[in-house]
């Protein structure tokens, strides 16, 4: 397909999976707005999750270097039946005059900027918030990121409460209507979305986003806390649950959010003419206790923030499950306004609790060896490559190992007649690289799973090489966002300037995807509801 054909397809009614098969660093340095990264190095591991319907129109983008053709061959071997390559790859897209965007999760972040502009989300500067903390103001600061991100660094006095949990937990966290609520994240998007979610639900407290998040806090010369352990989220009391139920019903009715029955869900899942994603938006602990059959875990706040990490098909149906509380409703609200066909599963997930499907054993069928066996092989002249990430290789690898990445395996100076040992820290990467090397004629091949600590304990010499691979060769690492959370104020300034400039980079077609909403819902358990056509300012 030509760039022009793909550009048009991204806003037509038919489903399309537009996948960037370059490595993460290449992708992050510049890509089309609505492309989803599915690196060739882990293609067969990620594609079935991102594109579960193997009959959907799938378009692959590379650097015009032939990797997309290789990826197409692998996808067809997996049973994908409608695979296309974008002619000329990313260079041709840019030459056609179409925009490319740096960074990751760009559609979600661009949409967050539109929300602040169109819904008038109030915000506070770091200096203003710090003064309020110092004055002892009646205030609650809630960090809308994941618990793991909160543990890395947080605003002093803040408490972890991921965005999707706000509507369910706020009644236990804030008891008085005059208490100020401030939502923060590391940058901007989740601060804005979290604050606006509470405003949309009708809470009348003073509600603000922390402008520029923890990065803005550091840029103001203020100190973050590191290593804080998130407190458990409070269980809603009976009176809170009654309020949640009332707000849920009113919110669904006001915004025309579609509901789906369990029977219709089963029909959708069995329909191979459409793609249906079933996502459990609850906490990790709840998901681990049991979920509805076929569901994947996608915490609602993270799903809105990084939709392209779960959804690889534009125009797909997205079914959101919770405990019939309010998390799926607020998540659906945002996804639908981002142009996705999201619906709410109107059942209590706990009533269908089953175990999550087991993950694939990528080591099955591989000729593995122990570190001691590897040491013997190396002493007898075996070749050694390491297919761990470039960052992991820099931090530590077996002395003498050559760094390798799947798209560039053929460029290595390897002798097919000599034994080959392939080391690596990720089973899927090991499996796929080993398969390619076997196809290249390396018959005497063994894989060495593990990590530097395990290899060192077995007597293998470990070395770090901070400059190898070079920045130019380390195509799986995105330097663009590097260091912004590690104290580099200049990196934080660049990132925030990039984020606030996203709207101006978008063309009319791209903005239109966000403002027109998804196609009308055909069936959702009651009468059809046409979606809102524009962003609404909800007070």
339 touches 533 (CB < 8 A): no
Please report the pLDDT score of residue 254 as a whole number: 94
Region for residue 127 given its phi and psi (left: phi exceeds 0; alpha: psi -120 to 50; beta: otherwise): alpha
Both tokens assigned to 371: 């570190």
> Alpha-carbon Rg of the chain, whole angstroms?
24
**Does the domain spanning 3-104 belong to CATH 3.40.250.10?**
yes
d(Cα 228, Cα 237) in Å, to the nearest integer? 26
CA 342 to chain CA centroid, Å, is 17
Sign of the dihedral defined by the CA atoms of residues 7, 10, 15, 17, in that order: positive
Neighbouring residues of 429: CB distance < 8 A, sequence distance ≥ 6: 41, 42, 387, 388, 406
Please report the pLDDT score of residue 355 as a whole number: 85
d(Cα 89, Cα 387) in Å, to the nearest integer? 25
Instruction: Concatenate the DSSP letters of all residues of 304-358 into one string.
Output: HHTGGGT---BT-EEEEE-SSSSHHHHHHHHHHHTT-EEEEE-S-GGGG-BPPPP
Helix/strand number for the chain, H first, E second = 23, 20
Superfamily the domain 250-354 falls into: Rhodanese-like domain (3.40.250.10)
d(Cα 220, Cα 228) in Å, to the nearest integer? 21
- Residues facing residue 329 across a β-bridge: none
Cα–Cα distances in angstroms (integers) from residue 396 to residues 75, 218, 370, 432, in the given order: 33, 31, 18, 22
Residue 90 has, within 13 A of its CA and on its CB side, a CA count of 23
Q: Give the residue from 91, 81, 88 showing the smallest Cα distance to 66.
A: 88
Neighbouring residues of 258: CB distance < 8 A, sequence distance ≥ 6: 332, 343, 344, 521, 524, 525, 529
**371-463, CATH topology level:** Oxidized Rhodanese; domain 1 (3.40.250)
Pairing of strands 462-463, 397-398: antiparallel
450 touches 64 (CB < 8 A): no
Neighbouring residues of 13: CB distance < 8 A, sequence distance ≥ 6: 315, 519
Instruction: Give residue for tokens 């019903």.
Output: 249
Cα–Cα distances in angstroms (integers) from residue 15 to residues 30, 55, 295, 389, 483, in the given order: 24, 10, 21, 32, 37
Q: Phi first, then psi: what are they for 59, rounded to 5°?
A: -115, 130
Please report the pLDDT score of residue 60 as a whole number: 98
- Any idea what DSSP says for residue 225? B
Neighbouring residues of 244: CB distance < 8 A, sequence distance ≥ 6: 167, 168, 171, 236, 325, 326
Region for residue 445 given its phi and psi (left: phi exceeds 0; alpha: psi -120 to 50; beta: otherwise): beta
Class of domain 110-235 as given by CATH:
alpha beta
pLDDT in tens, the chain (539 residues): 999 999 999 988 899 999 999 999 999 999 999 999 999 999 999 999 999 999 999 999 999 999 999 999 999 999 999 999 999 999 999 999 999 999 999 999 999 999 999 999 999 999 999 999 999 999 999 999 999 999 999 999 999 999 999 999 999 999 999 999 999 999 999 999 999 999 999 999 999 999 999 999 999 999 999 999 999 999 999 999 999 999 999 999 999 999 999 999 999 999 999 999 999 999 999 999 999 999 999 999 999 999 999 999 999 999 999 999 999 999 999 999 999 999 999 999 999 989 877 889 999 999 999 999 999 999 999 999 999 999 999 999 999 999 999 999 999 999 999 999 999 999 999 999 999 999 999 999 999 999 999 999 999 999 999 999 999 999 999 987 776 666 688 989 999 999 999 999 999 999 998 865 554 433 333 322 233 323 333 33
In the chain, CATH 3.40.250.10 sits at: 3-104, 110-235, 250-354, 371-463
Query: In terms of residues, how long is the chain?
Result: 539
d(Cα 185, Cα 469) in Å, to the nearest integer? 32
Cα–Cα distances in angstroms (integers) from residue 239 to residues 167, 282, 325, in the given order: 14, 21, 13
Please report the pLDDT score of residue 238 as a whole number: 96
């Amino acid at each position: 397909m030509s760039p022009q054909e793909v550009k048009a397809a991204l806003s037509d009614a038919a489903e399309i999976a537009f996948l960037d098969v370059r490595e993460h660093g290449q992708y992050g340095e510049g890509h089309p707005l609505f492309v989803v990264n599915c690196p060739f190095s882990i293609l067969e591991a990620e594609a079935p999750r991102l594109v579960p319907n193997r009959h959907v129109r799938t378009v692959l983008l590379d650097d015009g270097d032939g990797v997309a053709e290789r990826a197409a061959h692998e996808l067809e071997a997996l049973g994908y039946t409608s695979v296309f390559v974008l002619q000329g790859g990313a260079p041709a897209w840019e030459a056609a005059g179409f925009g490319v965007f740096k960074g990751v999760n760009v559609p979600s972040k661009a949409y967050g900027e539109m929300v602040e502009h169109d819904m008038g989300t109030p915000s506070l500067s770091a200096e203003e918030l710090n003064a309020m903390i110092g004055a002892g103001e009646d205030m609650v600061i809630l960090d809308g990121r994941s618990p793991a991100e909160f543990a890395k660094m947080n605003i002093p006095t803040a408490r972890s409460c991921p965005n999707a949990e706000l509507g369910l937990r706020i009644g236990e966290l804030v008891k008085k209507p005059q208490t100020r609520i401030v939502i923060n994240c590391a940058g901007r998007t989740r601060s804005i979305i979290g604050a606006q979610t509470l405003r949309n639900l009708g809470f009348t407290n003073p509600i603000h986003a922390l402008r520029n998040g923890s990065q803005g806090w550091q840029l103001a010369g203020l100190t973050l806390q590191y290593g804080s352990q998130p407190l458990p989220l409070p269980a809603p009391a009976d009176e809170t649950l009654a309020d949640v139920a009332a707000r849920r019903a009113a919110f669904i009715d006001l915004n025309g959010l579609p509901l789906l029955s369990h029977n219709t869900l089963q029909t959708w899942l069995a329909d191979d003419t459409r793609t249906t994603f079933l996502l459990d938006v609850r906490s990790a602990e709840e998901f681990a206790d049991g979920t509805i059959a076929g569901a994947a875990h996608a915490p609602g706040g993270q799903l809105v923030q990084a939709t392209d990490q779960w959804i690889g098909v534009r125009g797909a149906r997205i079914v959101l499950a919770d405990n019939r509380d309010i998390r799926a409703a607020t998540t659906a609200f945002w996804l639908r306004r981002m142009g996705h066909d999201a619906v709410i599963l109107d059942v209590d997930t706990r009533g269908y609790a089953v175990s999550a499907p087991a993950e694939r054993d990528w080591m099955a069928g591989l000729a593995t060896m122990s570190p001691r066996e590897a040491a013997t092989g190396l002493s007898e002249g075996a070749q050694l490559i390491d297919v761990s990430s470039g960052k992991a290789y820099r931090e530590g690898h077996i002395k003498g190992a050559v760094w390798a990445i799947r798209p560039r395996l053929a460029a290595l100076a390897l002798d097919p007649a000599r034994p080959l040992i392939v080391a690596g820290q990720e089973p899927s990467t090991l499996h796929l690289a080993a398969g390619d090397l076997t196809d290249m004629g390396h018959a005497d091949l063994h894989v060495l799973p593990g990590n530097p600590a395990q290899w060192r304990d077995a007597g293998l010499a470990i070395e770090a090489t901070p400059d190898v691979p070079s920045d130019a060769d380390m195509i799986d690492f995105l330097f663009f966002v590097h260091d912004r959370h590690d104290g580099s104020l200049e990196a934080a300034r660049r990132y925030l300037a990039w984020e606030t400039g996203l709207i101006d980079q978008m063309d009319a077609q791209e903005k239109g995807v966000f403002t027109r909403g998804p196609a009308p819902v055909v069936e959702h358990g009651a009468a059809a509801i046409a979606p809102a056509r524009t962003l609404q300012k909800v007070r």
